Amino acid sequence: MIGASAVPDLVEIGYEITRPKGKYVQGGIPPPGYEKEFGVAERSIGAVEGLANPWQYLFETIGWYRDKRFPDEKW
């Protein structure tokens, strides 16, 4: 299952309806402070900028961090 919403209630539903040994890919980023507990046999797969070239995206995000261009510089 692929979840593109960052709404915490919908993220929870996405994990709940994923079958055992299934995969849930979370594309949206929930708001700061949101926490999700995982069971021993559960795992999470994150997707950021799904069509991005990973190496190019990595260095771009480092540049954004250095330039303080992230929306929330509190982290």
Q: Which tens digits make up the pLDDT trace of 12-64?
A: 888 888 888 788 887 777 788 888 888 777 777 666 665 667 678 778 888 88
What end-to-end distance do the CA atoms of the chain give, in Å?
Answer: 29
Quote the pLDDT of residue 38. Answer: 80
Asked if the model's pLDDT at residue 72 lies above 70, the reply is no
Please state whether the predicted TM-score (pTM) of the whole model is above 0.85: no
Structure confidence by residue, pLDDT tens digits, 49-61: 656 676 787 788 8
Residues 6+ apart with CB under 8 A from 36: 11, 12, 15, 44
